A and B are shown apart, each in its own frame.
Chain A
């Protein structure tokens, strides 16, 4: 299930959670459009719905109302199994924590993602080439616990791009790193995104990281303040 194109579009998104104390409005978004191959940074205060939005775009959750479209596929309408298949092949995720499997080596963590996305594919060449390109070849047999935080996060980036996804979604990928490591990780991510032509949606608090994206979108209190690309203030947009 490959999308025709890799643009990301969200329309009339509402996410509400029923709780014993009443309904919680987690997100309300009129419109979001990201062109294929574009990188976008989403910023906003804590609790404004950034992660909720990312979960919807990744197909990890479905909105209460509204649609999410990746290329020509309306993933918000897909059933659970179809969404899993779509996510497996077209999405690459990078989280604040590396979330590497602790008992797998670097190359196995990366190779597993390839194995999941393309069942029974021969991954030898691709995994090694990617690790080589990202400067991780020397670490390939190490376990995650034997790596630094920055190294682990770079491996997580490699895992997110090994299967050449249409869209890369990153949730505070440098949130736990010092500035130097954060810089290396974001370099790796942007380089990889551009190398495979994927669309990148990056959630971050860090303006210096956000500035590395093509555009910055500000979210405020569960309401997107700028719904259209032309309406968004993009300071120092690259």
Chain B
């Protein structure tokens, strides 16, 4: 019966019902939308994180050149040794190679429960003397026994006894034996399984589930000037690679521009081919470290200048550095194994040659990325499982560089941070839903006071009214939750794209749906219910009397001042503890962004405290308009407006709270997004060096000299400047020491106009302009060289080429870092002087500036592609493509999307708020308006009353919201500072504020107009129907 009454009531009051349902729907929709958004975004993080990764996993085969020793260990017996019982440990050392093994040292340490029996050790059946303890682990350092040189094919046997201290079950693990040699200093455990060949290893790993492909790669650095023809030499160091077509086929950065890979021939880099003046069919000679030479037919020319898989550093702690070598030779894996590797073995065994690094042999493993879970936290478990499987194949002879798991570990941390961040940004949505529901509820409750009084007169008890309220609340909230759920999904899907959302796991989407709907249902339901209950619990007459003077609860409890106090104290504590600094993320260090998410409470405090303060000031200002009582009413319309708003400020100030909360959220997110986008753009521009980086390929048809910069000038490129740069391309020498350095040669004024330099570097560049023979050094390099400003620095330009030349420069300034050189730039000199000294050296790349406009950047790229890049092989990198390559998963955050989502819902909610406000006025003041009309007031006057209050509410809320949003956005940027490389500049975009203000005011005017039409329909005769 009661339920039917409630349903009928809701049905017959469609405006009331619709306003309440819309408010609840929008709030829940925003909350659900944010959760779905997080799901969709997380689903792209795995792919985003692993996208730029050149090598997923590298299984490095540790079998070194000349490492042909085989150590076998046998613990005699398989039973359990009782305390005091003894057994023998047999060790056999055999050189299975073709070269001497030098300084062969055997180490063997009995386990914790076994004691070495003194004097029991023998070598080839002869007692080992001269040791008080275990000769195979003697002294404090447990040094092993040095057997000296072992000739090829030679074998030695070592035996010693151990005695059990406690009951010990015998197996191979009770004794740990290993060997090392001069050629292979890292200890190798005994009983290492026979070495699997690279080809076999690659085949077996490639068949593992989860592995897309596995291919063998061998590489070695040869000495200077080791690649030549009969008439020319490629000056400088040469790197030789051994891989097959299968490897090249999986790596698109290996570009065979002419000819092909072959079993017996060689492919050389384009730069080497140019230096040697060779083409396929010619013969090249590679000098190997043992003094032998490889005569190879050239079968192809390759552009390897962007191949990170071949030139990424293999040194631990430096894995991201791209160390390009212009002189490169590629031979087949078989040829490398048969000719190159043995040459290194021989060189090592003889102790001849200067080998800084031995050959590296590895299996490069590509994980099947399509199979990886969308969530990095789950994906990292999957890649680790693949890594374990890969290591289990012929285990014990090597180690694995699990780049993909390291990357995903960082991404998982970033994803977790992103989720927390987004939830924080989404929490206001849920809160707004509750506020809006409470606001609708309070308006609804006021409107129903009379009806409830009638029901009471007719015998309805408090219990009846509460049950009706519960039923009404449940129906409204349930309808709102369902609509909100759908709206949230549709909105997230529209912004992210259906594909992104579809990638998210069903479990996470279902969880979000349940959390969003249930959370929203409870928050809005409780807000609606308790507002209504409070109204029921008031006696109507008492309520009427209090309505005039009584301030709202927040004002009576001074919640605005309390919240402001908390905000100030929290900020002071955070500043004094330096809590805003956080820690930036780094894939290099395997570290995700460290955000102090507790600090996100501060912007939320700004939001709440600010809105309440806005309401306090609004009501205070309106109260000042309150005229004193006078029998001369004056002008009717203005007199009514002034008296109404001056004596009833709480309706406006309460509405202003809701509007300012909504507008504040929208503005803060707009400010945060603008700052975030600007900072990320600045970060990527800094990394790229300028807006565009133009790199002529080694296979370009023509050379591009410094004077050719104008070739790249287009309508949307304001400035182009040439840059000479290389890793360790110059030797710098001071009066005390010298060191190879990455030196940049630029046109000082041109570089200053295109690169995002800080002021100190820009000022120093002018000194290069003034003095072409000047040089700038990093502080670190100057410290190393022990050089000071004013000192002379000798530079060997174009080092390791046939054109290397010495020049004397003057140190004129020190700097910390330079944009555009991720691998470091330790010195800057004038390109004019460089070209004068080395006329044939062309710029390595050109930097071009287009301005901050993305459209101009796109057009400039199009113009380059249609112009110089259409006729030649030119690589174009932009600040946008650099941003896309950012390995940090946080770079994948679609903050703009989130803001679009938030803004759309916020503006919807602002509209609903004004609808609720205007219709609330109509509901609450219907009798006033009807009386005024019966007294002879025109509808236009009543319309003015409604519009004036609505516009005041909207204006106070919107202006206050903009102010609050500005401060809140500043807090967001400050708290989230660790997300950025450069310090983000706070930006409050006026263009984003105008639509918000216009939309809120527009919605207000539209609602007022609709409200006025409704007022026109009010019949004054209803005053006569009180009987």
Q: Cβ of A95 and Cβ of B1026 under 8 Å apart?
A: yes
Q: Say yes or no: is B1019 at the interface (Cβ < 8 Å to chain A).
A: yes
Which A residues touch B1019, using CB under 8 A?
60-61
Encode A110-121 as 1/0 by CB contact (under 8 A) with B: 111111110110
Q: Say yes or no: is A171 at the interface (Cβ < 8 Å to chain B).
A: yes
Q: Say yes or no: is B632 at the interface (Cβ < 8 Å to chain A).
A: yes
- Our pick among A88, A122, A141, A171 for the contact of B1024 (Cβ within 8 Å) is A171
Q: Say yes or no: is B1020 at the interface (Cβ < 8 Å to chain A).
A: yes
Distance of A122 Cα from B933 Cα, bound (Å): 22
Q: Say yes or no: is A181 at the interface (Cβ < 8 Å to chain B).
A: no
Interface window among B590-598, B643-651, B683-691, B826-834: B643-651
Cβ < 8 Å to A, chain B residues 615-643: 629-636, 639-640, 643
Q: Cβ of B548 and Cβ of A103 under 8 Å apart?
A: yes
A–B Cβ pairs within 8 angstroms, 15 of them: A51-B1025, A52-B1024, A60-B1020, A60-B1024, A95-B1023, A95-B1024, A99-B1023, A101-B932, A108-B629, A112-B636, A116-B935, A117-B936, A146-B545, A171-B1026, A175-B1026
Known A-B contacts A124-B632, A128-B631; A103 and B648 likewise in contact (beta carbons under 8 Å) = yes
Distance of A120 Cα from B635 Cα, bound (Å): 6
Q: Cβ of B631 and Cβ of A123 under 8 Å apart?
A: yes
Which B residues touch A127, using CB under 8 A?
631-632
Which A residues touch B927, using CB under 8 A?
97, 99
Distance of A87 Cα from B933 Cα, bound (Å): 10
Known A-B contacts A102-B544, A105-B629; A119 and B636 likewise in contact (beta carbons under 8 Å) = yes
Distance of A51 Cα from B1023 Cα, bound (Å): 9
Please name the residue on chain A nearest to B1021 by beta carbon: A55
Please name the residue on chain B nearest to A89 by beta carbon: B936
Q: Cβ of B629 and Cβ of A140 under 8 Å apart?
A: yes
Please name the residue on chain A nearest to B931 by beta carbon: A99
Top 9 A-B residue pairs of the complex, sorted by shortest distance between their CB atoms: A88-B936, A127-B631, A51-B1024, A105-B629, A107-B631, A111-B633, A115-B633, A55-B1021, A96-B1026
Known A-B contacts A55-B1024, A103-B647, A143-B548; A110 and B631 likewise in contact (beta carbons under 8 Å) = yes
Which B residues touch A108, using CB under 8 A?
629-631, 633, 643
A99, A114, A117, A141, most chain B CB atoms within 10 A: A99
Which B residues touch A55, using CB under 8 A?
1020-1021, 1024
Q: Cβ of A140 and Cβ of B936 under 8 Å apart?
A: no
Expressed in whole angstroms, the minimum distance between the Cβ of A64 and any Cβ of chain B is 14
Which A residues touch B1023, using CB under 8 A?
93, 95, 97, 99, 171
Q: Cβ of B548 and Cβ of A51 under 8 Å apart?
A: no
Q: Cβ of A145 and Cβ of B548 under 8 Å apart?
A: yes
Cβ < 8 Å to A, chain B residues 979-1027: 1019-1021, 1023-1027
Please name the residue on chain A nearest to B637 by beta carbon: A115
Q: Cβ of A107 and Cβ of B1020 under 8 Å apart?
A: no
Distance of A90 Cα from B478 Cα, bound (Å): 53
Q: Cβ of B1027 and Cβ of A46 under 8 Å apart?
A: yes
Distance of A143 Cα from B436 Cα, bound (Å): 32
Which B residues touch A143, using CB under 8 A?
548
Distance of A101 Cα from B937 Cα, bound (Å): 14
Please name the residue on chain B nearest to A86 by beta carbon: B936
A108, A111, A140, A171, most chain B CB atoms within 10 A: A108
Expressed in whole angstroms, the minimum distance between the Cβ of B304 and any Cβ of chain A is 84
Which B residues touch A117, using CB under 8 A?
936
Which B residues touch A111, using CB under 8 A?
630-633
Distance of A51 Cα from B1026 Cα, bound (Å): 9
Q: Say yes or no: is B547 at the interface (Cβ < 8 Å to chain A).
A: yes
Distance of A70 Cα from B807 Cα, bound (Å): 115
Q: Cβ of B937 and Cβ of A116 under 8 Å apart?
A: yes
Q: Cβ of B936 and Cβ of A116 under 8 Å apart?
A: yes
Distance of A55 Cα from B632 Cα, bound (Å): 29
Which A residues touch B630, using CB under 8 A?
107-108, 111
The A/B interface has a contact count, at CB < 8 Å, of 118
Known A-B contacts A51-B1021, A108-B629; A101 and B928 likewise in contact (beta carbons under 8 Å) = yes
Interface residues of B (CB under 8 A from A): 544-545, 547-548, 629-636, 639-640, 643-644, 647-648, 927-928, 931-938, 1019-1021, 1023-1027
Q: Cβ of B1024 and Cβ of A54 under 8 Å apart?
A: yes
Which A residues touch B633, using CB under 8 A?
108, 111-112, 114-115, 123
Which B residues touch A38, using CB under 8 A?
none
Expressed in whole angstroms, the minimum distance between the Cβ of B948 and any Cβ of chain A is 14
Which B residues touch A102, using CB under 8 A?
544, 547-548, 928
Encode A31-65 as 1/0 by CB contact (under 8 A) with B: 00000000000000010000110110010110000
Distance of A102 Cα from B547 Cα, bound (Å): 9
Distance of A110 Cα from B633 Cα, bound (Å): 9
Which A residues touch B632, using CB under 8 A?
111, 122-124, 127
Expressed in whole angstroms, the minimum distance between the Cβ of A6 and any Cβ of chain B is 17
Q: Cβ of B1027 and Cβ of A87 under 8 Å apart?
A: no
Expressed in whole angstroms, the minimum distance between the Cβ of A9 and any Cβ of chain B is 20
Expressed in whole angstroms, the minimum distance between the Cβ of A76 and any Cβ of chain B is 14
Distance of A133 Cα from B217 Cα, bound (Å): 112
Known A-B contacts A101-B931, A103-B548; A140 and B1025 likewise in contact (beta carbons under 8 Å) = no
- The interface size bin for chain A is 35 or more
- Our pick among B629, B928, B936, B1027 for the contact of A51 (Cβ within 8 Å) is B1027
Which A residues touch B629, using CB under 8 A?
105, 107-108, 140-141
Expressed in whole angstroms, the minimum distance between the Cβ of A122 and any Cβ of chain B is 6
Which B residues touch A104, using CB under 8 A?
643
Q: Cβ of B1021 and Cβ of A115 under 8 Å apart?
A: no
B631, B643, B934, B1024, most chain A CB atoms within 10 A: B631
Known A-B contacts A60-B1020, A115-B639; A140 and B1027 likewise in contact (beta carbons under 8 Å) = no
Q: Cβ of A140 and Cβ of B647 under 8 Å apart?
A: no
Distance of A130 Cα from B501 Cα, bound (Å): 74
Distance of A84 Cα from B1020 Cα, bound (Å): 11
Distance of A171 Cα from B647 Cα, bound (Å): 30
Distance of A55 Cα from B644 Cα, bound (Å): 28
Which B residues touch A128, using CB under 8 A?
631
Q: Say yes or no: is A85 at the interface (Cβ < 8 Å to chain B).
A: yes
Encode A136-164 as 1/0 by CB contact (under 8 A) with B: 00001101011000000000000000000
Which B residues touch A91, using CB under 8 A?
936
Please name the residue on chain B nearest to A98 by beta carbon: B931
Which B residues touch A97, using CB under 8 A?
927, 1023, 1026
Which A residues touch B934, using CB under 8 A?
58, 60, 87, 93
Q: A102-B547, A175-B1026 are in contact. List 15 more A-B contacts (CB 8 A).
A: A55-B1021, A58-B934, A60-B1020, A88-B936, A95-B1023, A99-B1023, A101-B931, A103-B647, A110-B631, A112-B636, A117-B936, A123-B633, A140-B631, A145-B547, A171-B1024
Distance of A141 Cα from B643 Cα, bound (Å): 13
Distance of A113 Cα from B932 Cα, bound (Å): 9
Please name the residue on chain B nearest to A95 by beta carbon: B1023
Which B residues touch A146, using CB under 8 A?
545
Distance of A91 Cα from B935 Cα, bound (Å): 8
Q: Cβ of A84 and Cβ of B936 under 8 Å apart?
A: yes
Distance of A145 Cα from B541 Cα, bound (Å): 9
Please name the residue on chain B nearest to A103 by beta carbon: B647
Expressed in whole angstroms, the minimum distance between the Cβ of B119 and any Cβ of chain A is 111
Which B residues touch A171, using CB under 8 A?
1023-1024, 1026
Distance of A209 Cα from B173 Cα, bound (Å): 116
Distance of A93 Cα from B548 Cα, bound (Å): 25
Which A residues touch B634, using CB under 8 A?
115
Please name the residue on chain A nearest to B1024 by beta carbon: A51
Distance of A52 Cα from B634 Cα, bound (Å): 34
Which A residues touch B648, using CB under 8 A?
103
Expressed in whole angstroms, the minimum distance between the Cβ of A199 and any Cβ of chain B is 18
Which B residues touch A96, using CB under 8 A?
1026-1027
Which A residues touch B643, using CB under 8 A?
103-104, 108
Which B residues touch A131, using CB under 8 A?
631
Which A residues touch B931, using CB under 8 A?
99, 101
Q: Cβ of B640 and Cβ of A112 under 8 Å apart?
A: yes
Distance of A59 Cα from B669 Cα, bound (Å): 55
Which B residues touch A99, using CB under 8 A?
927, 931, 1023
Distance of A104 Cα from B643 Cα, bound (Å): 7
